Chains A and B, each alone.
Chain A
Amino acid sequence: MRQFLFTAVITACLGATSAQAEAVQGDAAAGEKVFAKCSGCHQVGSGAKHRVGPHLNGIFGMAAGSHEEFRYSKAFQRLGSTGLEWHADTLDAFLENPRAMSRGTRMSFPGVKDADDRANLIAYLRTFSDNPADIPEADPTAQVLDHNLDPAILALVGDREYGEYLSSECTTCHQASGGDSGIPSIVYWPEEDFVIAMHAYKEKVRPNPVMQLVAGRLGDEEIAALAAYFATIED
């Protein structure tokens, strides 16, 4: 494993008030471990694709919310249109508390509270951003969602209208707007991820008893219908 050190300039918070910047040495190898918190939703490295969250290659210098093929939340689109770009400081503030930066974000993730963890993580992400001086030929590091679902289940085409009806059971807890205040957002997921997650509850691979119960009585067609509906909820 190549040790990759990168000096990230971390500002405590965004905005003009935080004049003092504190320089933290991020350790990319340590950051790779922290990235385990992200890899359920994000891929990074060669061949990385958009999953629940956008892939994170080339994130440095990129305008927030600017992958055209990825469906961001409205809140996030707004953030990008205000001119926010991803750099060490903005990433640090975002990763500390995503909802503090974008209240309506669909990134249902509480944040990385430890400043060193964040610095390491940012150093790690930095290795996948274009910069002739320090691009390592990164191996794919993203953890592909683990599953062994029958491809026929993944291939089912969901009945969206049925999905809309079934979704009404879900929206008692999961907000249709994608808001998250204790229960994660499930809107605009790639259908495949959605189907895998639901089957993981159904098979009791994922532990939450509420979701095991909900998924437990859904048939394959019904899960496909829900995936189709939630993937395109506002269309």
Chain B
Amino acid sequence: MDMKRRAFLGAVAASATLAAPMVRAMGGKPRVVVVGGGSGGATAARYIAKDSKGEIDVTLIEPTRTYYTCYFSNLYLGGFKEMDDLGHTYGGLAANHGINVVHDWAVGVDRDAKTVALAGGGSVPYDKLILSPGIDFVDGAVAGWSTASQNKMPHAYKAGSQTELLKAQLEAMPQGGTYAMVAPPNPYRCPPGPYERVSMVAHYLKNNNPTAKIIVADPKPKFSKMALFQEGWNNHYAGMIDWIGDDFGGGNVEVNPDEMTLSIDGEVMNVDVCNVIPAMKAGRIAELAGVTDGNWAPVNAVDMSSKADPDIHVLGDASQQGDMPKSGFSANSQAKVCANAVRGALTGSRVFPAKFSNTCWSLISTNDGVKVGATYEATEEKIAKVDGFISQTGESADVREATYQESEGWYSGIVADMFA
């Protein structure tokens, strides 16, 4: 399965090789194709195009015309952001860096011919392929749930309409109702993400539905920034949040989307909102390209190249790289290391040692921001953590506010680094 060289998504397979290619490489320039215009893909495309100054032909394949960031989507739930604040378009990448942006799905990779097939027909040739497709969900991970039930029990773990749906459900909750979350097992996108979401939902409910309850069923015994979140929940939302960890059966859940029930360790309850965040795996195209091993795509730390194919690089959430958390910051950091290596391989430009870093901020309540961060280096075996820090419990309100301000600065910084 994993090593399948030619794989296409069902019906489109036939047309894919026949139709006239919509994308043609220019004269002898080396060609880079990037699949996925998110945190990893947009950054990689932008850096390769920007720094090679026209020497490399860069094509970015991304189905959506507006990328909604998952980062700050919890703040949208909490009422701190508008959906429009989260949306970013690809005009700058085309206009400022000459990137050929193709709005389509990649549906297959032919590693011998070195082409990527598009859902709309045609295929795009590459010298180096970069996959940054983000995540998909593991089938059957939560009993009773499938992607077919995501309109009743949203995951909101890919931002956009799912996030809006979850917010609408939150707003429609009856007074004193129950918001349930089924948290994911490790490893998953954005370790503090579910708990920041709980905080933001609590913030909304405190102001609009103060007798409502939040229940979290978690298959993990502990979670990212746990002490900080629990302190914050006590300070701001005392009595509202019931977190049920693995020790108390939080991992033994079943949902019924039609009945809107959730069963935790055999105990069935009616809930008004059920935010199911299932176990995750690499975006499907990574599997179709045959670069996954299990749920994720193993990569070499020095340049993020796939362990299965030196001409394919895998970035961000889809990659299995070692110690970095799956975050937008990490994907962006990995993309720059990859871009430097890819440019070096294709044009002989200088290649510098790989350096990675990550910082994840979370908002617990108004102006109550916390952060965790670390630096990483490439070893033979993996991306290995070098050093790190985390916000402390009991910090002053000033420090927390400054931390929140930093996250605002970071958000502007990273989206400019991806799309400007």
Interface of A toward B, CB cutoff 8 Å = 161-162, 164-166, 168-169, 171-177, 179-183, 209-210, 212-214, 216-217
> Which stretch in B168-176, B274-282, B370-378 binds the other chain?
B370-378
The residues of B that contact A173 with a CB separation of less than 8 Å are 359, 406, 409-410, 413-414
A170 to chain B: closest residue by CB: B413
Q: Which residue of A lies closest to B356 (CB)?
A: A169
**Min CB distance, B185 to chain A, in Å?**
28
Q: Within the assembled complex, what's the spacing in Å between the Cα atoms of A169 and B47?
A: 12
The 4 closest A-B pairs by CB, nearest first: A182-B409, A183-B409, A182-B408, A168-B336
Task: List 14 A-B pairs, Cβ < 8 Å.
Answer: A161-B350, A164-B51, A171-B417, A172-B329, A172-B414, A175-B416, A182-B410, A183-B409, A209-B371, A209-B389, A213-B374, A216-B375, A217-B375, A217-B387
- Tell me the complex Cα distance, A175–B373, Å: 19
Contact with A along B326-341 (1 / 0, CB 8 A): 0001001100100010
Q: Are A213 and B389 in contact (CB under 8 A)?
A: yes
Of A165, A171, A181, chain B has the most CB atoms within 10 Å of the CB of: A165
Q: Is B14 an interface residue (CB 8 A)?
A: no
Write out the residue numbers on chain A whose beta carbons fall within 8 Å of the beta carbon of B357: 169, 172, 213-214
Contact A212 B389 (CB under 8 A): yes
Task: Choose among B51, B371, B387, B408 the residue that contacts A181 (Cβ–Cβ < 8 A).
Answer: B408
B interface list, Cβ under 8 A from A = 47, 51, 329, 332-333, 336, 340, 350, 352, 355, 357, 359, 371, 373-375, 386-389, 405-410, 412-414, 416-417, 420
B39 to A: closest C-beta gap in Å = 10
Q: Is the CB of B409 within 8 A of A169?
A: no
CB distance from B207 to the nearest CB of A (A): 24
Q: Name A182's closest neighbour in chain B (CB-CB).
A: B409
A211 to chain B, nearest CB (A): 10
Say how far A34's CB is from chain B's closest CB, in angstroms: 20
- CB–CB B412/A172 < 8 A: no
In the complex, how many angstroms separate the beta carbon of B395 from the nearest chain A beta carbon?
11
Residue of A nearest to B39 (CB): A172
Contact B389 A217 (CB under 8 A): no
B375 A175 Cβ-Cβ under 8 A: no
Say yes or no: B413 contacts A174, CB within 8 Å: yes
Q: Which B residues touch A174, using CB under 8 A?
A: 413
Q: Contacts A169-B355, A172-B329, A210-B373; is A180 near B47 (CB within 8 Å)?
A: no
Contacts beyond the supplied A161-B350, A176-B420, A181-B409: 20 A-B pairs with Cβ under 8 Å? A165-B340, A166-B355, A169-B336, A171-B416, A172-B413, A173-B409, A173-B414, A175-B412, A176-B417, A177-B416, A181-B408, A182-B406, A182-B410, A183-B406, A209-B373, A210-B389, A212-B389, A213-B374, A213-B388, A216-B375
- Please, which residue of chain A has its CB at the minimum distance from the CB of B371? A210
Q: Is the CB of A179 within 8 A of B336?
A: no
Give the CA-CA distance A175 to B413 in the complex, in Å.
5
Partner of B413, one of A171, A213, A217: A171
B161 to chain A, nearest CB (A): 27
Instruction: Give the chain B neighbours of A172 by CB distance below 8 A.
Output: 329, 332-333, 357, 410, 413-414, 417
Closest B residue by C-beta to A168: B336
Instruction: Select one of B51, B355, B359, B416 contacting A179, CB under 8 A.
Output: B416
- Residues in B neighbouring A166, C-beta threshold 8 A: 352, 355
- Pick the residue among A169, A182, A213, A217 that contacts B405 (CB under 8 A): A182
Q: How far, in angstroms, from A70 to B407 measured CA to CA in the complex?
A: 31
Contact of B359 among A164, A171, A210, A217 (CB under 8 A): A210
Residues of B within 8 Å of A180, CB to CB, are 409
Return chain A residues, CB-CB under 8 Å to B406: 173, 182-183, 210
Query: How many Å lie between the Cα of A30 and that of B137 in the bound state?
Result: 62
CA distance A183 to B404 in the complex (A): 11
Q: How far is the CB of B354 from chain A (nearest CB, A)?
A: 10
